[in-house]
């Protein structure tokens, strides 16, 4: 087994992803905020899928003028791509296959933090809706 060398930002982003992760009926979602590289979002989503109760994981993060989204599934049906295309505001900004999907949302210049947080919530609730999971009133943080 090979473990590639990882940067310090990989570990700080992963720690933030674990700390921020919320869980509901098999779905783990982590909003990472600003990241140094959008691949860190995908790596966090991949890592969170190792949680034994996870059937789906999603990571979001901000890189430059975009919110990047990575979706992972433990099983290939429904496909991660079909779900993410329904969740993002512009379906043309998502792609993937079977158990892996990614996409992004263009952000307005000088977007206020409150508007960004609302977009995060809208994407989370859209994911739960398309997975036929009723959103809980209070989010559960399983790793705190």
pTM higher than the cut 0.75 = yes
Residue 122 to residues 8, 11, 43, Cα–Cα distance (Å): 31, 27, 22
pLDDT 10s digits, 11-43: 999 999 999 999 999 999 999 999 999 999 999
- Give the whole-angstrom CA distance, residue 37 versus residue 118: 22
The helix or strand, by DSSP H or E, that contains position 14, with its residue range, turns out to be helix 8-20
- Give the whole-angstrom CA distance, residue 94 versus residue 123: 13
CA dihedral angle for residue 63, residue 120, residue 25, residue 52, rounded to 10 degrees = 20
Dig out the tokens for 120 from the structure. Answer: 């995060």
Name the residue with tokens 């720690």: 15
Look at residue 2 in the predicted model and tell me its pLDDT. Answer: 78
What lies within 8 Å, CB to CB, of 50 at 6+ separation is none
pLDDT in tens, the chain (144 residues): 678 899 999 999 999 999 999 999 999 999 999 999 999 999 999 999 999 999 999 999 999 999 999 999 999 989 999 999 999 998 889 999 999 999 999 999 889 999 999 999 999 999 999 999 999 989 899 999
**27 phi and psi angles, rounded to 5 deg:** -115, 125
């Amino acid at each position: 087994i090979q473990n590639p060398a990882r940067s310090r930002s990989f570990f700080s982003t992963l720690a933030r992803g674990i700390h921020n992760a919320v869980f509901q009926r098999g779905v783990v979602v982590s909003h990472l905020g600003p990241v140094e590289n959008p691949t860190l979002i995908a790596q966090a989503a991949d890592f969170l899928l190792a949680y034994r109760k996870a059937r789906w994981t999603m990571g979001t993060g901000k890189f430059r003028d975009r919110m990047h989204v990575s979706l992972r599934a433990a099983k290939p049906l429904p496909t991660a791509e079909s779900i993410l295309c329904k969740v993002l505001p512009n379906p043309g900004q998502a792609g993937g296959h079977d158990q892996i999907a990614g996409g992004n949302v263009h952000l307005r210049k000088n977007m206020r933090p409150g508007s960004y947080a609302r977009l995060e919530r809208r994407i989370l609730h859209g994911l739960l809706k398309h997975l036929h999971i009723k959103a809980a009133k209070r989010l559960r943080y399983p790793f705190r």
